[in-house]
Structures are given as structure tokens and as C-alpha cells.
């Protein structure tokens, strides 16, 4: 085909089909020339057409090619200086993925031509490779953006009503017996009625998907027969990963993703994406040249000022995107807006978010990254969740993100793990975490819902393994178990790994219920990891990032039916009672007209806790009164929100203890609403205790008593 080209336009960046042809626009500030390469198929070893982009507006190279259609494959070759010491690594022998590609056809076929330097050369990455990488690089795809969304709209649930479920697209459905084999492990598998019904039955309001931006698997992993299963190695910030597509690679993956979102929205379930804008899959100075490095290395990455050959690494991956630069900020914001406006997602969880907030070196919560998001009328209105740390100095920033953001609360995770494994820890911290971590968020005018509470996440032990292993067992990763965290705050209940000892099994099951109950009774937003509700195990692997197999996939046929039923009832219990999901902080003072505090803390003997009791690091047991009249909130129509009152007893001591029900001041009678020892949530024939009555609470268990005076409205 003989192509003619027109000047085209510098915006929007990427490839844009208008019905008559395609506009191509590429930002490359330091480049001296750009060539657009067209390919006939994903398997084509070389381009069928290659022509120079003559037009440059400011820092953007652009051209328009009439008659091109969706499905067209393309890539770029960019010319400029090859001066690694100055931060420039231009090499036109390397075909490059468009940073704004909306789809990418296939995955990398590793070969030394994908690197800008010669393998084995004495000068290492300062040498220059003239091997053509086109046969081995996946191609960018022109897409048709049209899609019938119908009346689709975001469920837009407030945080205090949210139950977040962290899941992997493939791992969640790969072994699901009710899903057709041809769509297991795909976007279509997530959209399948069996998947959606399961989420609804469990009570989930938002599914948080591990990275779906197109990512790469490192060569060294592939050589070991492993893969980058989690996906934290992005190379395409606009493209849904092709591995999860059951329908095709030439743009069909975009449509399939949209169909998934639409189906989840119809069920009232939000879609949150785990996004990785802190680095790319190109690694350090010895990594491959796949996209950003070859397009304009100095305009995308944080480079060491003294020697720009090297990269600042705040991510542990070899590089860090430079969110201080306008080009990178624009890329991130354009990507976020695209996923909101075109793909209809409802929020984002930002991996290693502290890296995005670094100015020259330190983390700055007033950085331009936050400023731009705060003023953006689209991005600022969706759920924004930070993983508030990175691997650099001063990177642990839990509690320091600005208003409008929520955070994965690592302090909550650590505190609750220590509490239930019996570590000496101040009850004051437990109280802070249970009530929403006001010590972290109150002074910034944020609310309890700023805390995303979790016991486990994809990174680390599953809930079952948390109570079954003291040590990590990562042998399958091929790194002699040197990878993964060595300090898991886990307790194996006396036996490492699987056991036939019924006493140990019973204790482990009770500990799982304790963790789940603590999570869903705490103020803040609970996040549950897919499979924890059914006792999923990774056989002690606490870093299964490279395990795309049965180690990571949910085993539906071996699901723990008892724990699953407990989890369903527990989540429903939380959703039915606004006292456990407050929008405002506890005041700790008497409620006007009633003489009772909204919250009060008690020793097992029924005595209210004094200052000195909070400082006893050996104390493992306490009771907390939650006043149903003290929710301090109004419903959507301005109605006052009232609830039953509750007395929650935590006994992390190894033996049973005698507790007392609160005095008549707090209620005349109390009904057992939840008992982790007996595996009960709202039992049909509950035990009733009178005010002040004494009773035994079993060791390592939670007992929740209800004073059912007020009907709980759906606020």
C-alpha cells in the first residue's frame, strides 16, 4: 500500500482514529528525528512501511495517515544522541512502544536486540547495539474507541459503605468450575455471572484489581520458567494487558475490559485499579530499550545528577519515573483521566505512592503531583488510595498524604497481627487502630475512612498462612528463599505448616475468624484479599509475585465452606450496623441529653479503663462500648442515624477470662451477636446476659454483645 501523510496535530498524544485515518503524536523533547513504522501482523519481523514524521510542534512529533483503520499495528524509531553519561540513550535500531498506546498486541519475545547496548561488551551499557529489535517487540495498536455503554454509571459508593476486595484477574477465575474454560483468567471471566454473584453474596462493593496496565515479564524470570504474575512492571499505561483477553489482541482486549466494567457496575460493584506510575519495566541502565528509554530517557526518568548514566531507584526496580517533569505528570494525568472517562473505572490504588511525591529527594505532600490531582475535576472525584511508602530514605509516609486521599494503613496491619499473636504491645495503639487511627488522620481534617484497613495483601502471607507459618517458604521462587519479608508478624499456632493436630487446626480457624472479625468491626474501610474468606494457602510463600500457577490461583473446590459462611455473615453484619462504619470520629464524651459517651473502654471486671491501664504492654484483653446513639451522622435525606449499641470484647489472652456485662447505665440486657470461639454471627438462639452479669470469654476470641434498643436504618 502506498501511503501519503498529512501534517496532523500534536494532540491528543498517541494514535487517534477519526473514521478517515489516524493521527499519530509522540512527545520526544530531546529527539532529532522520529520515524513511524507500520506492521501487517503481530508476527511480522519487519515493518511494511516506514516514514519520517516531518512535523514537530514544540516537543511533539506528529503526522496523519489517511485510510488507516483500527487494528493497525505500529511502533516508533527515535533518533538522537547516544550519550548515556548525559542521560540520552537514543537508538533507532530499537522499535519502541507508544507510551500512549491504547492496546499492545502480544508480549515480549526476549532477545539481546531489545537492549540498546552490546551484550558482553567491555563498555557494557556505554556500548551501542545495531541489532534490530522489531521482530521481538510487541506492537502498538490503533483502536476503535466506540462502545455502547448504555446507561452505565459508577455506583459511586461512599467510603464508609465500601467493602474492598483485592483480586488478581487471572488468579481469581482460573480454577473456577462454573466459568467456561475459554474465558477463565480473563476480563470476561471476571464479568461472568458466577463471579459477580459470588461477589454479591459475599457483600463486596468494590473489586480492586492487581495491575492490568500492560506489563512485561523480566528476562531472568522467563529463563527460570517463572513470570511477573502480579504485574508490577508496567510498559503501557493506557493499554489493558493482553494476557487477560479472551477475545483478541488487536483492540478486542479494550472492548472486553469495558464489558467487564459494565457488568460489574450493573451489579453495583465498583472497579478500582492498582496502578504503577512510579517506575516502568525498563529497569536500570542495563535494562532493555522498549519505550520511554529510547523515546527520551532524560524526559521520563529520575537520573543521578552527578552521572546521568544511572537512575535514582526509589522503587527497588532499577528506575523511578520523574513525576516532577511536565511530560511525566501529563502522562500520568492523561492515563488516569483515560481510565475514568473511557474505561469507566471508579478509582485507583497507587503502588509505592511516596515515589510520586518526591521532589528532589524527599517526599513532599505538597508536591506538584498532588496539586494537579487536587485541582483536576475528573481525577479528584474518584477513589484515590495510596500505598504510602517506597523503598527510599524517608519513604514510609503512613498518615502523611493530603486530604482527599485514603491510605493502606500498614500500622493497622502490624498492630492487629501483633495483638492476636500475643506480642506485648500497648493497648492504646490497638484502640487507635480499631477506632480509625485518629492519631494519623485527624489533624489533617480527614475522617476514619482515610484508613484502608487490612490484615493481609497480595504481598505477604495469605490469612491462612499467617496463622500456619512462622517462616517464609519461597523455595519455588528460585532465590533460595532470600526474597520476601523476613518479619511477617505471623504465628503458626505451634506447628509449622500443615498438621493433623485437631487442637492446632481449631486454634488456627479461630485465629482466622478473630482477624476477620477485627477487620470488619474496625472503623475505616476494610480490604479483604481474594481467597482469605475461604482459607486460600500459598504453602507459606510470602512473595508469590512470580507464581502464575496453583500456588497463586484460588482453589475453589477446596474452599473452606465454614469460614466462607462466617465471612458472608460478618460482612453483612457490618453493613447492617452504621456504628461499625462511622463517617466521623468518636468524641469520647457524653451525648447531649443521654449522659452516655459515644465510646467507652472497660477492663474485664467491668471497670472503666484509667490512664495507667493503657500503658500496660502485657494486657491482652478489654471491652469497648459503642453507643448506637453516638454515630454523629445523618443519612442522605438528613435523617439522624441511630443504631443498636454494642459491647465488643477482645480476649487475646491464651486462656478464658471472666468478663462482666456493662452496668444498667449502658443497657439492661445484652444479646450475643458474634462469637468467634463458637463460630457464630447473629445466632438464631443467642445467649442473653443481664447488666453487670459475669461470664467466661474463651481464650483468643472475640465476643460481641448487642443491646437491641434501636432499629438500624440503612443510611
Please give the positions annotated as active site: 351, 387
**Helix, strand or coil for residue 274?**
strand
Q: Report the DSSP beta bridge partners of residue 214.
A: 236
Which residues, other chains included, contact 39 with Cβ-Cβ below 8 Å and sequence gap of 6+? 47, 48, 73, 74, 75, 134, 139
For 709, other C-beta atoms within 10 Å of its C-beta total: 14
> Measured in Å, how far apart are the chain's first and last C-alpha atoms?
63
For residue 601, how many C-alpha atoms fall within 13 Å in the half-sphere facing its CB? 18
Order of strands, sheet of 49-52, starting from the edge strand that comes earlier in the sequence: 49-52, 33-39, 73-79, 139-141, 104-105
Q: Write out the three cell numbers for 557.
A: 473446590
Q: Write out the three cell numbers for 22.
A: 489516524
Q: Write out the DSSP string of 396-407.
A: --TT-SPTT-EE
Q: Which of 185, 190, 183, 184 is nearest to 165 (CA)?
A: 190
**Helix, strand or coil for residue 259?**
helix
**Helix, strand or coil for residue 81?**
coil
**Antiparallel, parallel or unpaired: β 406-408 and 451-453:** parallel
H runs (alpha helix) in 470-535: 502-521
Compute, in degrees rounded to 10, the torsion defined by CA atoms 612, 615, 619, 622.
Answer: 60
Phi/psi of residue 14, nearest 5 degrees = 95, -160
For 366, other C-beta atoms within 10 Å of its C-beta total: 10
Query: What is the rounded distance in angstroms from the CA atom of residue 327 to the CA atom of residue 583?
Result: 38
Amino acid at each position: 500500500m502506498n501511503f501519503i501523510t498529512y501534517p496532523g496535530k500534536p494532540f491528543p498524544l498517541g494514535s487517534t482514529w477519526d473514521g478517515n485515518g489516524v493521527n499519530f503524536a509522540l512527545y520526544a523533547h530531546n529527539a532529532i528525528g522520529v520515524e513511524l513504522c507500520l506492521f501487517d501482523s503481530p508476527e511480522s519481523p519487519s515493518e511494511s512501511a516506514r516514514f519520517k514524521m516531518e512535523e514537530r510542534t514544540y516537543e511533539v512529533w506528529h503526522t496523519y495517515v489517511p485510510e488507516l483503520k483500527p487494528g493497525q499495528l505500529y511502533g516508533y524509531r527515535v533518533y538522537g544522541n547516544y550519550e548515556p553519561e548525559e542521560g540520552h540513550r537514543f537508538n533507532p535500531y530499537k522499535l519502541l512502544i507508544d507510551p500512549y498506546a491504547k492496546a499492545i498486541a502480544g508480549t515480549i519475545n526476549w532477545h539481546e536486540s531489545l537492549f540498546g547496548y552490546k551484550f558482553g561488551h567491555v563498555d557494557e551499557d556505554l556500548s551501542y547495539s545495531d541489532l534490530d529489535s522489531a521482530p521481538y517487540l510487541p506492537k502498538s495498536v490503533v483502536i476503535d474507541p466506540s462502545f455502547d455503554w448504555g446507561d452505565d454509571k459508577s455506583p459511586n459508593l461512599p467510603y464508609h459503605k465500601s467493602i474492598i476486595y483485592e483480586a488478581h484477574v487471572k488468579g481469581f477465575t482460573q480454577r473456577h468450575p462454573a466459568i467456561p474454560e475459554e474465558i477463565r483468567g480473563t476480563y470476561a471471566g471476571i464479568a461472568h455471572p458466577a463471579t459477580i454473584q459470588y461477589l454479591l453474596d459475599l457483600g463486596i462493593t468494590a473489586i480492586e484489581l492487581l495491575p492490568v496496565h500492560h506489563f512485561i515479564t523480566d528476562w531472568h524470570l522467563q529463563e527460570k520458567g517463572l513470570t511477573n504474575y502480579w504485574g508490577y512492571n508496567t510498559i503501557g499505561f493506557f493499554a489493558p494487558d493482553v494476557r487477560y483477553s479472551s477475545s483478541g489482541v488487536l483492540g478486542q482486549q479494550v472492548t472486553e475490559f469495558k464489558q467487564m466494567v459494565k457488568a460489574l457496575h450493573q451489579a453495583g460493584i465498583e472497579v478500582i485499579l492498582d496502578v504503577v506510575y512510579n517506575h516502568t519495566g525498563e529497569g536500570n541502565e542495563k535494562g532493555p530499550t522498549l519505550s520511554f528509554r529510547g523515546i527520551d530517557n532524560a524526559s521520563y526518568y529520575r537520573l543521578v545528577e552527578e552521572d546521568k548514566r544511572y537512575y535514582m531507584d526509589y522503587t527497588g526496580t532499577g528506575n523511578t519515573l520523574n513525576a516532577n517533569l511536565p511530560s511525566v505528570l501529563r502522562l500520568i494525568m492523561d492515563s488516569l483521566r483515560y481510565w475514568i472517562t473511557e474505561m469507566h473505572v471508579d478509582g485507583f490504588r497507587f503502588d509505592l505512592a511516596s515515589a510520586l511525591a518526591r521532589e528532589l529527594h524527599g517526599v513532599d505532600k505538597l508536591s506538584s503531583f498532588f496539586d494537579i490531582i487536587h485541582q483536576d475535576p475528573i481525577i479528584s472525584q474518584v477513589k484515590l488510595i495510596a500505598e504510602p511508602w517506597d523503598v527510599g530514605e524517608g519513604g514510609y509516609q503512613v498518615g502523611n498524604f493530603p486530604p482527599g486521599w485514603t491510605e493502606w494503613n500498614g500500622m493497622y496491619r502490624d498492630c492487629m497481627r501483633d495483638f492476636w499473636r500475643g506480642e506485648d504491645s500497648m493497648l492504646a495503639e490497638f484502640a487507635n487502630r480499631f477506632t480509625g487511627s485518629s492519631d494519623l488522620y485527624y489533624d489533617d481534617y480527614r475522617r476514619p475512612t482515610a484508613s484502608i484497613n487490612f490484615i493481609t495483601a497480595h504481598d505477604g502471607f495469605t490469612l491462612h498462612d499467617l496463622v500456619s507459618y512462622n517462616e517464609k517458604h519461597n523455595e519455588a521462587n528460585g532465590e533460595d528463599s532470600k526474597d520476601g519479608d523476613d518479619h511477617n508478624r505471623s504465628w503458626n499456632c505451634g506447628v509449622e505448616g500443615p498438621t493433623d493436630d485437631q487442637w492446632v487446626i481449631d486454634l488456627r480457624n479461630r485465629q482466622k475468624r478473630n482477624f476477620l472479625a477485627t477487620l470488619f468491626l474496625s472503623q475505616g474501610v476494610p480490604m479483604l484479599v481474594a481467597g482469605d474468606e475461604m482459607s486460600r494457602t500459598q504453602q507459606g510463600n510470602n512473595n508469590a509475585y512470580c507464581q502464575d500457577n496453583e500456588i497463586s490461583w484460588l482453589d475453589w473446590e477446596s474452599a473452606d465452606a465454614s469460614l466462607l459462611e462466617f465471612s458472608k455473615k460478618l460482612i453483612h453484619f457490618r453493613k447492617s450496623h452504621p456504628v461499625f462504619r462511622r463517617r466521623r470520629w468518636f468524641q469520647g464524651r457524653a451525648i447531649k441529653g443521654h449522659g452516655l459517651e459515644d465510646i467507652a473502654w472497660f477492663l474485664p471486671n467491668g471497670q472503666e479503663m484509667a490512664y495507667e491501664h493503657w500503658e500496660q504492654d502485657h494486657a491482652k484483653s478489654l471491652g469497648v462500648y459503642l453507643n448506637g446513639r453516638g454515630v454523629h451522622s445523618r443519612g442522605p435525606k438528613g435523617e439522624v442515624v441511630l443504631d443498636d449499641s454494642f459491647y465488643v470484647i477482645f480476649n487475646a489472652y491464651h486462656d478464658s477470662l471472666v468478663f462482666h456485662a456493662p452496668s444498667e447505665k449502658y443497657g439492661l440486657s445484652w444479646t450475643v451477636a458474634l462469637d468467634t470461639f463458637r463460630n457464630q454471627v447473629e445466632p438464631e438462639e443467642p445467649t442473653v446476659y443481664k447488666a453487670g452479669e459475669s461470664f467466661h470469654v474463651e481464650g483468643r476470641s472475640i465476643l460481641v454483645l448487642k443491646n437491641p434498643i434501636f432499629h438500624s436504618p440503612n443510611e
